[in-house]
Chains A and B, each alone.
Chain A
Amino acid sequence: MEMVKLFINGKEVEVPSGTTILKAAEQEGINVPQLCYMEGLSSAGACRLCVVEVKGVRALVASCATAVRPGMEVQTHSPNVMQARRAILELLIANHPLDCLTCEKLGECKLAEYCYEYGVKESPYKGEKHSYPVETSNPFIVRDMNKCILCGKCVRVCDEITGQNVLDFTYRGFNSKPSPFYDDELVESNCVFCGQCVAVCPTGALTEKQMQRKGRRWELERVKTTCPFCGTGCNFDLLVKDDQIVGVASNPTSPVNGYALCIKGRFGWDYVHSEKRIKTPLIKKNGQFVPASWDEALDLIAVKFKEMKKKYGPDSFAALSSARCTNEENYLLQKFTRAVMGTNNIDHCART
């Protein structure tokens, strides 16, 4: 692989040819702000926040979309760059509701994070503001286009990862926004509710409906686990507060799926807290299920299992194990069936 030498903030850096300035800077541990860039998606160069100064080049360049060249001299945080970034942020918030007090995304909002970092409190640009109605017509995704900064990540992720191509930019200029065909709501579109767009949205424009007012992002404990639905084996983080699951977040370190999930993995977890869950053992008495203590239920089962085994022999017993449960539980149930009940009558739904 051909290597290229360049200078970033005065320090000599060597990276493979074709690397972007952004990646080269990140490799050196330099934090370059970015709203529209994401690893794994094509570069749009839309937000301009990642601009850097390159010696001999008159305009600032978007580091996410510019490849390194030999001998290039790059400044990532020069006064010119800092001023430009502040101006960009001022322009972005000129038409962005500053209702951070109640915004769902606060804590994970990249716009708020950079405004804090660059000391941008309000915009000197006073002009027209959007007043789109907030879309809440589906059970999974809240769309508040007033908060959209047109980074286009939702459009790219829908095209490049899910391949559903539901979202694209509609209208022009000030009225431009990402939306389904005909500017319909998501429920009217071919949206498969994978939620990839929500996972990559850097602002409060797209948020999870199930998580509304369930907790601030920094209050949520993240527990990485494996999806309980199909056999793909996606990983994600369960977001937990006060012993309750409040949502699912993509975990990009997942070996199988990266950011990607489907409707079931991202939004189907709420069966865990369904009111229909059985919470205590139940014993059938006169055709009715009656709540019982664990000891009472397990004692009854043990007596019955022993009695039946004695009366009819071990092979009168059969166990169905579960392709939904863990390896450890499946191992235990086959051990129980074989070692305790004395039969090999154990199977599960692999065949049915």
Chain B
Amino acid sequence: MLIGTNTTEAHPVIGYKMRQAARRGAKLIVVDPRRIDLAEEADYWLQIRPGTDIPFVNGLMHIIIKEELYDKEFVKTRTENFQALADTVKNYTPGYVSTLTGISEEDLYTVARLYATTDRAMLFYTLGITEHVCGTHNVMNIANLAMLTGHIGRAGVGVNPIRGQNNVQGACDMGALPNVYSGYQRVIDKAARKKFEKAWKVSLPDKNGLMIPEMFEKANSGEIKTMYIFGENPVLTDPNSNHIRSGLDKLEFLVVQDLFLTETAEYADVILPGSSFAEKDGTFTNTERRVQRVRKAIEPIPGRADWQTIIALSAKMGYPMRYESPEEIWMEMASLTPSMAGITYERLEEKGIQWPCPNSEHPGTPFLHAGTFIRGKGLFQAIDHIPPAEMPDEEYPFLLSTGRVLQHYNVTTPYSAGIQSMWSEEFSELNPENAAALGVETGDMIKVTSRRGTITTRIKVTDRVPPGMLWMSFHYAASPANVITSDAYDPITKTGEYKVAAVKIEKI
């Protein structure tokens, strides 16, 4: 069951495998407002209304509990707080859920029974679940569903978030987060802090740092004065880019390290040239926590690789870091990180290793939560519907949703001459019914306005999207979707609600 993941475009090779499985006879359920490619392969395509994932999952659990299709043994031995969940989902009758989600009662029954009674049923999601004000609750509710049916902790089941970037898993694992060091060791935990202080021979701050949206709020308010932006382009990729631009503008000193003179780099006081993946040794960690080698194929084009640049800067700051190679960096990290302690470059040669891998004999861990959860028992969370922060209204009657297209990857591929020569501009998707009313055809330019700003884009008229929705990618600097996306955030993760904003459309 896929909820909010357009896998064949955003993760094509995983998409191939899903398609192969469907053609071999696996049942495929696609839950998506758009008629994505995999909807064509699916046994059930549930065209859910954006922002109603919680009632949808609650509706499935309502049926599963009422018909006693849940895994009673798993619930009894592996979880707690079942009663609170049961009490909450009791209110989510198929009739009520159907009204909220737009999915028929019949489909709700069929899919609930199919998922619950299939021994090996996998759940997949990506940003269609997380990029909402209720993103964290969406994820917890999916975990509820998997625990309720015992679909977790063994091969062929599980909650499978597909990570978006080549090394977003690794960047988290390495502690490029404001609250943890590598391996999710908390900065507010005294013992962890002492360990890193001893290893790094320096005293370390004891309170959590800022998350990205907070950084830009404080840049706007003047509390953040200096930034070092390494390999990111928040002007194009973060929601409400006018707010990002004004924050960057207010900084007293900005360093950007990147391959290209990006929209963000324009604001820099100093730009350091970056090196691409082909110019350095190192590792990436994929969506299945598999650490794999990146190998240097050519000399760094600007003369040094990024790791060398950071070391050189640190030395100039009076804190020399002594590493001769990325492997030495890895070894220091592994020595301080129990979940990776058994991983060495030598062991990665063949097929990489999936962490946790606590010692040199450990083969790695293909799936988590076998036998027990990290906290012991799985804790059911009773979750009620949280609607999106901004819904279409009279003034802004269309719902804007955003994502990736197959041919592009975020904001790097526009620098690929081959790809850019065929896919050089945005074609936002609009339903034929709306297009006819607006008097626009495929290829026409439209003006799209939200409460944050205005952009222009070409459109493609297609019934891939339902009436009332405009769907855009965010790859193109000339049609920067994030000028108009919502500035609402999930309060826990501070992830922006990229998937729902209210806009109006005008013909140009």
Contacts and interface: CB of A to CB of B under 8 A. Distances in A.
B20 A231 contact: no
Chain B, interface size category, equals 35 or more
A223 B212 contact: no
B260 A318 contact: no
Contact of A346 (B14, B209, B293, B306): B209
Nearest to B231: A322
A340 B227 contact: no
Interface in A315-352: 315-340, 342-352
Given A238-B278, A327-B291, A347-B209, A232 B14 contact: yes
B429 interface: no
A296 B412 CA distance: 28
Interface string B237-253: 11100000000000011
Contacts of B165: 230-231, 323-324, 349
A235 B13 CA distance: 11
Given A327-B330, A344-B207, A305 B415 contact: no
Interface string B252-295: 11010011110001001111111011111011111110111111
B428 interface: no
Contacts of B409: 229-230, 264, 268
A320 B270 contact: no
Given A260-B13, A328-B330, A347 B210 contact: yes
Interface stretch (A110-118, A121-129, A279-287): A279-287
B16 A272 contact: no
Nearest to B352: A255
**Per DSSP, are chain A's interface residues mostly helix, strand or loop, or mixed?**
mixed
Interface string A69-90: 0000000000000000000000
A268 B12 contact: no
B321 A326 contact: no
Interface stretch (B87-95, B97-105, B296-304, B439-447): B296-304
B282 A329 contact: yes
A67 B41 CA distance: 33
Interface in B73-126: none
A244 B215 CA distance: 39
A323 B406 CA distance: 19
A294 B304 contact: yes
Interface in A266-298: 267-272, 274, 276-284, 289, 292, 294, 297-298
Contacts of A304: 226, 253, 269
A6 interface: no
Contact of A231 (B11, B232, B272, B293): B11
B220 interface: no
Interface stretch (A13-21, A53-61, A155-163): A155-163
B297 A231 contact: no
A46 interface: no
B259 A278 contact: yes
Interface stretch (B173-181, B450-458, B461-469): B173-181
Given A263-B406, A332-B310, A349-B168, A256 B297 contact: no
A320 B237 CA distance: 13
Contact of B177 (A162, A292, A346): A346
B296 A223 contact: yes
Contact of B166 (A233, A253, A317): A233
A312 B225 CA distance: 8
Interface stretch (B141-149, B370-378, B389-397, B490-498): B490-498
B473 interface: no
Interface in B181-208: 181-182, 187, 196, 200, 202, 204-205, 207-208
A194 interface: yes
A261 interface: yes
A233 B228 contact: no
A107 interface: no
Interface stretch (B26-34, B47-55, B63-71, B312-320): B312-320
Interface of A: 138-140, 160-163, 187, 192-194, 209-210, 221, 223-235, 238, 240, 243-245, 253, 255-257, 260-265, 267-272, 274, 276-284, 289, 292, 294, 297-302, 304-306, 308-309, 311-312, 314-340, 342-352
Given A256-B290, A340-B319, 16 more contacts: A139-B417, A228-B412, A233-B290, A256-B288, A264-B408, A264-B419, A282-B270, A298-B312, A301-B313, A319-B230, A320-B230, A326-B280, A327-B167, A342-B204, A345-B209, A348-B171
28 contacts: A224-B295, A225-B277, A225-B297, A230-B11, A231-B169, A238-B297, A243-B298, A255-B352, A267-B418, A270-B417, A272-B301, A279-B301, A292-B270, A299-B316, A304-B226, A314-B205, A325-B231, A326-B280, A327-B173, A327-B333, A330-B170, A333-B176, A335-B321, A338-B181, A340-B319, A344-B187, A347-B178, A352-B238
- What 8 A-B pairs have minimum CB-CB distances, sorted nearest first? A233-B286, A322-B231, A326-B282, A344-B209, A231-B163, A262-B12, A321-B176, A302-B316
